[in-house]
Amino acid sequence: MAVCSSPDFCPSFSVLIPAAGGGTRMGGSLPKQYRPLAGKTVLRRTIERFLACSGCLRVQIVIDPAHETLYRASIAGLDLPSPVAGGTERQDSVLAGIDSLAGFLKGDDILLIHDAARPFVTVEDIHAVARAATQTGAATLAAPVTDTLVHRDGTYPDRAALQAIQTPQGFRYGLLRAAHRQARDAGRVYTDDTALVAALGHTVTYCPGGRHNMKLTTPEDWTMATRLLTETVSFETRTGTGYDVHAFAESPAKNATIRLCGVELTHTQGLAGHSDADVGLHALTDALLGTVGAGDIGQHFPPGDPQWRGADSARFVEKAVDIIGEKGGKIVNIDLTLICETPKIGPHRDALRARVAQICGIAETRVNVKATTTEGLGFTGRKEGIAALAVATVRIETRDEKYSNFT
């Protein structure tokens, strides 16, 4: 048995997360990896631990194709490769993931395997396994056994000689692929990837693990995890505002239309602008970006850039929503005011509200669209254009830094 060392470097690695299981021991109809845990799904929390690591080149997820909708909702805003379809057993799913990486990884590249239901792994744990696997070819986290153990036959094994295997487990890609193929060809099923590699005669290096890196398996585990997170994670509400104006085109046009809050409305004049001149969505984009301190619409979509000429402004809002998701935020409410003498907003209010909710991926009950005039004053009063004011409210996760490694 080898023991890992910790030199001062962190090698590059990729990670494979098998998430195709049904999680039946947890109970309930929703697979445990997709259950929300203090505001985020278990799978998303696990993925984010690896995305926070320096040296992480790729995070590949293996899923049950029947869970595609759950998976997409869980990773919204994360830049990940397309998921791989898993198999009947965990071993089948891992091999499918390994084979999918054949065009990306070479024989000596490091691949980590990690359980989807271990969301408390730390960056230090991950780096330790990656370093050890680089040195020796195969490594895993292993925690000391602290309870007294008894065999069903009444014998008491020496707990000092035992360890509880955890993940991540790290391997040279070629070694792990060969081990899985040998197991498949021999018709042998293992519950752990280190066991496959050991069956080839390769020594596995053990890195110190800990109780914090618990695997969520039973309802009792879930209760403990919830308590840990709710004690160390809190939420705050942030508000952003946006304001925009667009002038009507100089000359009336037959069959002219304007796009307002993503809806085409018939009008006597179009709106002038580099993109589609959707004044409502432009104001909303700035409001959403403001909730997470992400600048303004001009920074992300420069008005002089040809690629945005005539662009659908829904793309701007969707980008802002993705940024909020990446920062752990969720939209609570949107309040949008349109300021104009014409067109009349009232007949279209429900359609505008529904479209905004659709673009943002939230319920219509969280969106309000209203209109007002300036009583004939100013450029809107003279029917020269439309102005819009947006206010967005976001709930975002914050952490007690004392416990940040574990959450």
Instruction: Assign residue 175 the CATH number of its domain.
Output: 3.90.550.10
Q: Would you tell me the crossing angle of helices 279-291 and 349-360 to the nearest 10 degrees?
A: 40
In this structure, the answer to whether residues 99 and 246 fall within a common structural domain is: no
In this structure, the answer to whether residues 51 and 188 fall within a common structural domain is: yes
Residue 226 is assigned to a structural domain of this protein: no
Residue 388 is assigned to a structural domain of this protein: yes
Please count the structural domains in the chain: 2
Domain end point (choices 174, 191, 217): 217
In this structure, the answer to whether residues 263 and 324 fall within a common structural domain is: yes
Residue 373 is assigned to a structural domain of this protein: yes
Res. 403: pLDDT tops 80: no
Between the CA of residue 337 and those of 165, 192, 351, 352, what are the distances in Å? 57, 57, 15, 11
Residue 404 is assigned to a structural domain of this protein: no
In this structure, the answer to whether residues 189 and 265 fall within a common structural domain is: no
pLDDT at res. 211: 87
In this structure, the answer to whether residues 197 and 332 fall within a common structural domain is: no
Domain end point (choices 183, 217, 251): 217
Domain end point (choices 217, 252, 270): 217
CB atoms within 10 A of CB 296: 14
On whether the CB atoms of residues 240 and 290 are closer than 8 A, the answer is yes
Residue 21 is assigned to a structural domain of this protein: yes
CB atoms within 10 A of CB 61: 26
In this structure, the answer to whether residues 213 and 328 fall within a common structural domain is: no
In this structure, the answer to whether residues 258 and 154 fall within a common structural domain is: no
Q: DSSP code of 213?
A: S
pLDDT band with cut points at 50, 70 and 90 for residue 235: confident
Residue 86 is assigned to a structural domain of this protein: yes
pLDDT at res. 177: 96
- pLDDT tens by residue, 152-172: 888 988 888 888 999 999 999
Residue 63 is assigned to a structural domain of this protein: yes
The domain that holds 256 is classified in CATH as: 3.30.1330.50
In this structure, the answer to whether residues 213 and 258 fall within a common structural domain is: no
pTM of the model: 0.59
Distance separating alpha carbons of residues 312 and 164, to the nearest angstrom? 54
Distance separating alpha carbons of residues 375 and 60, to the nearest angstrom? 58
In this structure, the answer to whether residues 201 and 278 fall within a common structural domain is: no
pLDDT at res. 260: 93
In this structure, the answer to whether residues 211 and 254 fall within a common structural domain is: no
Residue 257 is assigned to a structural domain of this protein: yes
Pairing of strands 36-37, 40-41: antiparallel
In this structure, the answer to whether residues 183 and 241 fall within a common structural domain is: no
Res. 401: pLDDT tops 70: no
In this structure, the answer to whether residues 110 and 196 fall within a common structural domain is: yes
Distance separating alpha carbons of residues 233 and 164, to the nearest angstrom? 28
pLDDT at res. 146: 85
Domain that holds residue 304: 234-399
Most confidently modeled range among 121-125, 143-147, 170-174, 326-330: 170-174
pLDDT band with cut points at 50, 70 and 90 for residue 6: very low
